[in-house]
């Protein structure tokens, strides 16, 4: 073979490379003709560089198509997050216990230094019915429990006539400490103690409240009127119906008022519809 007819060194490789570039150019032009960029919803940059730059572009394209895929819904939806200023639900018993501890340590008025025992209240933390009296008496001050004397025994019979046991309701007073000589509460004493009752009502969230006596009726209705005018009326404390009737201690002195008391409590009978418990 002559020297002129022999191929130039490397010319075959150049021809092969030119053929590959030409083939790639035709392939890419075909992709643009079919508008590949619309398949993925956004323009796709197709490189015009040699084959050595093709692999990074392919990985970039795969990454974009992967992130564009919508997330699959989970089988079980997650619980809604707690919003700002919100707290998880707390057991009413814990709330009532916290109120009792604060009342025990309270010295906001003179009664905190004169009492023997604090009397925050007793009963079912989830009671649907709340009884509120005036203030602890001598026996309550000694034992730390509301309505434990003769008036308490009469209240137990009233509760049973409504179809409840004492441990199924909640019993509290407007004041948590005994005033000297069982006098009426003073305005500053009410102002210091009423937040405790308000928090107890919020923790219990009862369906109905029974105000026993004039002091409890005045506080729960917000009306400074004689008990006779408040009895039988429609009242509410923070949206909860309030029934006004006589204090059991008054019923012990005036037995003729027991019939009127039972008449006052008829809305409670209608609300719960429970048969009376047998009296011991």
Is 25 among the domain residues?
A: no
Confidence of residue 12 (pLDDT cuts 50, 70, 90): low
Residue 6 domain-assigned (yes or no)? no
Residue 278 within any structural domain of the chain? no
Q: Of 166, 179, 173, 168, nearest to 196 (Cα)?
A: 173
Q: Is residue 67 part of a domain?
A: no
* pLDDT tens string 246-277: 999 999 999 999 999 999 999 999 999 888 88
pLDDT of 46 over the 50 cut: no
Q: How many domains, in total, are found in the chain?
A: 1
Using pLDDT thresholds of 50, 70 and 90, give the confidence band for residue 18.
low
For residue 226, being part of any structural domain is answered with yes
Residue 163's domain spans which residues? 92-272
Question: Which neighbouring-strand residues pair with 240?
Answer: 237
pLDDT tens figures, 99-144 = 999 999 999 999 998 899 999 999 999 999 999 999 999 999 999 9
Domain at 252, CATH number: 3.40.470.10
Report yes or no on 154 lying in a domain: yes
Q: Is residue 53 part of a domain?
A: no
252 within a domain of the structure (yes/no): yes
């Amino acid at each position: 073979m002559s020297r002129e007819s022999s191929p130039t060194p490397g010319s075959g490789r150049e021809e092969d490379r030119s053929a590959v570039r030409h083939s790639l150019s035709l392939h890419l032009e075909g992709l643009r003709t079919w508008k590949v960029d619309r398949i993925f919803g956004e323009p796709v940059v197709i490189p015009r560089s040699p084959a050595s730059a093709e692999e990074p572009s392919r990985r970039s394209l795969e990454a974009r198509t992967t992130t564009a895929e919508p997330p699959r819904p989970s089988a079980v939806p997650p619980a809604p997050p707690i919003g700002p200023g919100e707290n998880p639900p707390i057991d009413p018993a814990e709330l009532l216990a916290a109120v009792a501890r604060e009342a025990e340590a309270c010295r906001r008025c003179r009664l905190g230094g004169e009492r023997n025992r604090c009397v925050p209240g007793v009963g079912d933390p989830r009671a649907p019915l709340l009884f509120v009296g005036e203030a602890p008496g001598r026996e309550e001050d000694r034992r730390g429990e509301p309505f434990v004397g003769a008036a308490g025994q009469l209240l137990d019979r009233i509760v049973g006539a409504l179809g409840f046991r004492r441990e199924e309701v909640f019993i509290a007073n407007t004041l948590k400490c005994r005033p000297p000589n069982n006098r009426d509460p003073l305005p500053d004493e009410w102002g210091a103690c009423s937040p405790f009752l308000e928090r107890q009502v919020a923790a219990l969230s009862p369906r109905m409240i029974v105000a026993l006596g004039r002091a409890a009726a005045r506080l729960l209705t917000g009306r400074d009127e004689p008990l006779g005018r408040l009895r039988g009326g429609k009242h509410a404390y923070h949206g909860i119906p309030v029934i006004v009737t006589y204090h059991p201690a008054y019923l012990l002195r005036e037995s003729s008022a027991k019939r009127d008391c039972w008449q006052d409590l008829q809305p409670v009978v209608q609300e719960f519809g429970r048969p009376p418990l047998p009296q011991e």
